[in-house]
Amino acid sequence: MRHRVCFFVTSLTLFAWSTTHELMQSPDVEIEALEDDPFENRSFVEGSSKKLTEYLLKRHNPSAPPDGRLIVEYEMEIVHILGIDELKQTMTVLVYVDERWHDPSLAWNPDEFGGITKTWLPLEKIWIPDIIIFNMVRLDHEDLLTAVRAPALILHNGSVETSKPFVSTVSCEIHIEHFPLDDQNCSLEIASWVYGKDKIKLHGHKEHATDHYTTNEEWNLLRVRVQEREFEHEGINVSEIKYEVHVKRKPLFYMVTLTFPSYIMCAISIVGLFARFSTTGEREERFTLGVTSILTMAVLSLVVSEKVPHSSTAVPLLVAYFLFNMVIVSVAAMTTGIVMRVHRLGRYGREPPHWLLYIFLLRPKKYTKVRRSPDSPFHQLVAAHERNGALIDPTQRKIKLIEVFIKRLIDACENIQLQMDELDIHEHVSQKKKQESNGYVRIAERLDLIFMTIFLSLVTVPVMLLFYWTKKMYSLPSLGDSKH
């Protein structure tokens, strides 16, 4: 009887095993089995998770750090550069931070808790190393953490991993002498506030990840360098990770809105100061134009001062460019006074020496001398009658000569009347030609051309260099471009 019962139990066990094996081999059967009892396995897992959480919280003390030296793997990813405040000397960035370390008090045997190999615990329930940004001036992460509510990931071997986003504002030494063609180096200094290197050793990744980085409208992220070093803080040697962020400003906005309008204004002012607008040579209004241009540049400089960083240690490049333009326009206005003085000498009829004309590559004026005939029409008529023998009698000769003289006098009066009418018309034109042919007037015109060329070159070359550097900066590769 006993043998039969054993045989029956053995047969029932083998049948149950074969049935279970077939169910595991068939997906359809497995799905049907799960649908028949959907809460059986879930309840078992939930019970194990709750049991594991209670076990870890009972065993772990949030106020006690792990024994021995702790190696913390710290990884920071810069997601977005929110801005750089040149006046306050700060940089604001959005970062993702991952921290990993080993805590034996948070380890467990997966076989004792339903095969669970990982779980999550609230940050306030476990011990977390006090790793902060030393050069931080403001931390704005409470809202982000509240929205994310990211707990700590705990593995069965005691490995702890935390991940959190936050917005941090760090102090940064800003150099503005090359603004708006400047680049800045800002750093984030990561270290423990209390524990020294004998307790916490920070280890960072040498390569900075840019998977989630989004570009900034004003700044290009060129590179991020990660350094591990040690420093002394309150008599304790502390392990530190330093993230050096190298950024480059995008100057196109400042070039289009400030530099180019300033160049156009200076160029028009210089052309107005030295261009010839009338043949009379009136130049008094040109000095007034120069003074007006200087006042306009002064007003524009006030607008620029609101857009450039304020500093007492260096003069920004953009401000230096505006000051240079103001100096050029001022010198051009004063030079106009010299040209006006030279032109006035010509209006008074004075002629320069020939060597002065040769200096300005001008030729002296050639005067054409008109030689009068020694014989008047009266003497020519007398000579003709003497040759023809017609004037033999002296009395008849005198009468004939008087008749000819009276006739010529009447014709001359008529011609004089006509010439007086024409003289009024051509007098003004002749005066213009006389003034234009004057040596000092020609020298003044040549000075206008020379000074206009010089001053236009002085204001054109700097703006061309600025636009060349701007184009060169936009061709530099950035981390955001390399990601795309």
Summarised one tens digit per residue, pLDDT across range 431-481 is: 555 555 577 788 888 888 999 999 999 999 999 998 888 877 666 666 655
Angle at the Cα of 251 from the Cα atoms of 247 and 255, rounded to 5 degrees: 170
Model pLDDT, residue 278: 56
Does residue 89 have a pLDDT over 70? yes
Written as six digits, the tokens of 209 are: 């990840």
Name, in order, each residue with C-beta under 8 angstroms of 159's C-beta and a sequence gap of 6 or more.
100, 101, 102
Tell me phi and psi for residue 452, to 5 degrees: -65, -40
Tell me phi and psi for residue 367, to 5 degrees: -95, 135
CB 188 within 8 A of CB 171: no
Model pLDDT, residue 8: 38
Which domains are assigned to the chain?
A: 50-250 (2.70.170.10), 254-363+443-483 (1.20.58)
CB 289 within 8 A of CB 258: no
| Three-state DSSP class for residue 479 | helix
Q: How far apart are CA 63 and CA 245, in angstroms?
A: 35
Model pLDDT, residue 398: 66
Does residue 367 have a pLDDT over 80? no
Long-range (24+ apart) CB contacts under 8 A made by 456-464 are 456/267, 456/270, 456/271, 458/328, 459/263, 459/266, 459/267, 459/270, 459/325, 459/328, 460/263, 460/267, 462/321, 462/324, 463/259, 463/260, 463/263, 463/321
Written as six digits, the tokens of 464 are: 């061309």
Q: How far apart are CA 295 and CA 255, in angstroms?
A: 22
Q: pTM for the complete prediction?
A: 0.68
Tell me phi and psi for residue 155, to 5 degrees: -100, 160
Does residue 201 have a pLDDT over 90? yes
The band of 422, judged by pLDDT with boundaries at 50, 70 and 90, is low
Q: How far apart are CA 324 and CA 306, in angstroms?
A: 19
When comparing pLDDT for 93 and 396, which is higher?
Answer: 93
> Within 13 Å of residue 213, how many CA atoms lie on the same side as its CB?
25
CA torsion sign for 88, 89, 90, 91 is positive
Q: How far apart are CA 266 and CA 459, in angstroms?
A: 7
When comparing pLDDT for 445 and 418, which is higher?
Answer: 445
| Three-state DSSP class for residue 12 | helix
